[in-house]
């Protein structure tokens, strides 16, 4: 959207994300990407470091501390578990390159909303309405807020109960909504600080485990605990072959640990020189994440025996600290995990507020002008508050147990469906017909084979959860193993129904047509509104 339109109001002239002045994708790269979206330049406050930490913080939450034992159980052996982490890293790398191409081609906040809307243009606005429902599910912070609460209480030596766990989680969600919605710069500073702290601590954990593996004095497993033999060749592969469903269940846990590589794409309208920045920040951040994850797993298996990992109810990180530094370090670990989770929550909700705001700017949400606004603190407080309301509702209304596993699985499955549609769309954009018709000429190109593999990996992850688990293996205690998969597909019906009622049934019944008009907010940010034009009697 060109800067010449900023003081005007006009009707829609092109379905391409509201671009009205020669805003084809290929032309936007003649600039630095900043002119693609009609926002004041002073709103672009994120550079390479902040953008990198936006991804790094969102990806690394609790997964690397809590999931390795479940992944080892699914893998059966240490060797297969490490292969699964490598596969997860490769899938995340493929996804990162896919989202870099889309982000450089459509450098505007909103992420998948923009890409699905740009690619799947008919029926008009159907993709946006359907995605809106998925966005609110995948953006919920309920599960991680509870994890933060439990670890913080443990660090403070307070026995967690239903009440105090949810009280702390509620306070955490409220704090995040307020700091990102009223004090943007302070929220970013806290986010970056926690990211730096997390990187340093994880690097120290990885290094101490590797020093233990090579036999450096002072980094050996204490005599009170079992010495691991995980890297002896016969032990390394012992237990392999647990079945396809178990393998995919473990892979899902790993993918959940990598969720967030597209996080910066949700805030591109607030990034300086977004094309150049996303091309640098995303690979750096994800290379750092993948390296840390692999080294941490190597360190875990160097210090903790396989039996301890499988049989203990404590998370692997706690066993690791106990074996190297003694049991008194466990509370310090809990405090670190709580801070790590807080950084993850800050990064996730920062981006999620922008997704809701972009849905508001598109004009398809009820009360769109309200959600598109940056008033009164020059931040997307309305969008943050909507996601806060959804997260707190799940927090207070959802019982523990299967419900939390279901929420995590549902969020991961919804993300997989979206990734599959995005990858399929990018494959279409790589065809000559779409390149010519859609004028797709981004400054970064993903190799087609990478897009194909990313698409197939997501299709695989969509299909396999419908296969029954192996005998004796249970996804849930009471729910069917396929419940989150069916629900993920079913929720799209909500968006489709809303689209049909709002865009087709009501206009036909009440005798009007919808015409999209560009408007300018008081803060200088443009958005779209829909006007109802009466149909003249024939």
Name the residue with tokens 């931040």.
379
**Could you read off the pLDDT of 111-129 as tens digits, one per residue?**
888 999 899 988 888 888 8
Rounded CA separation 160/154 (Å): 7
**Could you read off the pLDDT of 29-60 as tens digits, one per residue?**
445 677 777 777 777 888 999 999 999 988 98
- Quote the pLDDT of residue 31: 56
- Quote the pLDDT of residue 198: 87
* Per-residue exposure over 396-431, b if at least 16 CB sit within 10 Å of its own CB, e if not: eebeeebbbbbbbbbbbbbbbbbbbbbbbbbbebbe
Asked whether residue 373 carries a pLDDT value surpassing 60, the answer given is yes
Alpha helices in 402-466 (DSSP H): 402-429, 432-438, 448-463
> Are 531 and 12 a contacting pair, CB within 8 Å?
no
- Quote the pLDDT of residue 276: 92
**Could you read off the pLDDT of 506-515 as tens digits, one per residue?**
888 888 888 8
Rounded CA separation 12/36 (Å): 16
Asked whether residue 93 carries a pLDDT value surpassing 50, the answer given is yes
> Are 450 and 94 a contacting pair, CB within 8 Å?
yes
Rounded CA separation 128/198 (Å): 35
Which secondary-structure segment (H or E) carries 515? strand 512-520
- Angle at the Cα of 419 from the Cα atoms of 27 and 268, rounded to 5 degrees: 40
Asked whether residue 456 carries a pLDDT value surpassing 50, the answer given is yes
> Are 333 and 105 a contacting pair, CB within 8 Å?
no
Rounded CA separation 129/497 (Å): 9
Average pLDDT score over residue span 218-233: 84
- Burial (CB < 10 A; 0-12, 13-18, 19+), residue 469, is middle
Rounded CA separation 514/360 (Å): 16
Asked whether residue 226 carries a pLDDT value surpassing 70, the answer given is yes
Rounded CA separation 490/10 (Å): 37
Tell me the three state secondary structure of residue 514.
strand
Q: Nearest CA to 49 among 179, 222, 192, 219?
A: 192
Name the residue with tokens 């009707």.
11
Q: What percent of the chain has pLDDT over 90?
A: 24
- Quote the pLDDT of residue 473: 61
What is the band of 313 on the pLDDT scale with cuts at 50, 70, 90?
low
Rounded CA separation 442/33 (Å): 10
Rounded CA separation 283/510 (Å): 51
* Angle, helix 274-303 to helix 48-59, in steps of 10 degrees: 40
Residue 516 phi, psi dihedral angles, 5° rounding: -85, 130
Q: Nearest CA to 459 among 248, 242, 247?
A: 248
Name the residue with tokens 């008194």.
328
Asked whether residue 160 carries a pLDDT value surpassing 70, the answer given is yes
Residue 45 phi, psi dihedral angles, 5° rounding: -110, -10
What radius of gyration do the chain's Cα atoms show?
24
First and final CA of the chain: distance in angstroms?
37
Q: Nearest CA to 522 among 374, 382, 383?
A: 374
């Amino acid at each position: 959207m060109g800067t010449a339109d900023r003081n005007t109001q006009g009707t829609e002239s092109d379905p391409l994300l509201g671009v009205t002045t020669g805003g084809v994708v290929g032309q936007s790269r003649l600039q630095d990407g900043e002119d693609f979206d009609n926002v004041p330049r002073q709103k672009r406050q994120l550079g390479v470091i902040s953008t990198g930490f936006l991804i790094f913080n969102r990806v690394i939450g609790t997964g690397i501390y809590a999931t390795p034992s479940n992944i080892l159980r699914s893998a059966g052996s240490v060797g297969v578990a490490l292969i699964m982490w490598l596969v997860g890293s490769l899938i995340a790398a493929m996804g990162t390159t896919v989202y870099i191409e889309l982000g450089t081609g459509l450098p505007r906040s909103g992420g998948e909303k923009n890409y699905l809307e740009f690619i799947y243009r008919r029926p008009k606005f159907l993709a946006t309405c359907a995605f809106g429902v998925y966005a609110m599910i995948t953006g919920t912070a309920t599960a991680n807020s509870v994890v933060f609460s439990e670890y913080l209480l443990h660090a403070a030596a307070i026995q967690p109960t239903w009440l105090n766990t949810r009280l702390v989680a509620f306070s955490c969600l409220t704090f995040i909504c307020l700091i990102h919605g009223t004090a943007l710069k302070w929220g970013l500073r806290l986010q970056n600080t926690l990211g730096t702290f997390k990187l340093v601590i994880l690097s120290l954990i990885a290094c101490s485990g590797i020093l233990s593996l090579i036999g450096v004095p002072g980094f050996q497993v204490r005599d009170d605990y079992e010495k691991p033999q995980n890297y002896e060749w016969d032990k390394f592969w012992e237990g392999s072959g647990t079945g396809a469903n178990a393998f995919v269940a473990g892979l899902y846990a790993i993918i959940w640990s990598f969720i967030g590589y597209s996080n910066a794409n949700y805030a591109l309208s607030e990034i300086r020189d977004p094309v150049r920045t996303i091309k640098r920040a995303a690979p750096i951040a994800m290379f750092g994440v993948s390296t840390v994850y692999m080294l941490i797993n190597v360190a875990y298996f160097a210090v903790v025996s396989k039996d301890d990992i499988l049989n203990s109810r404590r998370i692997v990180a706690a066993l690791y600290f106990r074996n190297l530094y003694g049991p008194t370090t466990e509370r310090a670990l809990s405090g670190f995990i709580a801070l790590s989770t807080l950084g993850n929550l800050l990064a996730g909700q920062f981006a999620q507020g922008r997704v809701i705001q972009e849905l508001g700017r598109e004009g398809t949400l009820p009360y769109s002008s309200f959600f598109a606004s940056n008033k009164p603190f020059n931040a997307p407080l309305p969008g943050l508050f909507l996601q806060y309301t959804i997260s707190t509702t799940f927090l207070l209304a959802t019982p523990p147990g299967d419900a939390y596993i279901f929420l995590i699985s549902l969020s991961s499955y919804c993300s997989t469906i979206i990734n599959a549609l995005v990858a399929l769309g990018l494959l279409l954009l790589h065809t000559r017909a779409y390149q010519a018709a859609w004028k797709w000429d981004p400054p970064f190109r993903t190799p087609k084979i990478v897009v194909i593999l990313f698409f197939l990996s997501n299709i695989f992850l969509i299909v396999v959860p419908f296969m029954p688990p192996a005998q004796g293996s249970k996804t849930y205690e009471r729910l069917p193993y396929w419940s989150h998969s069916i629900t993920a597909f079913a929720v799209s019906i909500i968006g489709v129904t809303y689209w049909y009622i709002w865009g087709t049934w009501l206009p036909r019944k009440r005798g009007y047509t919808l015409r999209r008009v560009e408007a300018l907010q008081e803060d200088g940010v443009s958005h779209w509104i829909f006007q109802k034009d009466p149909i003249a009697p024939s």
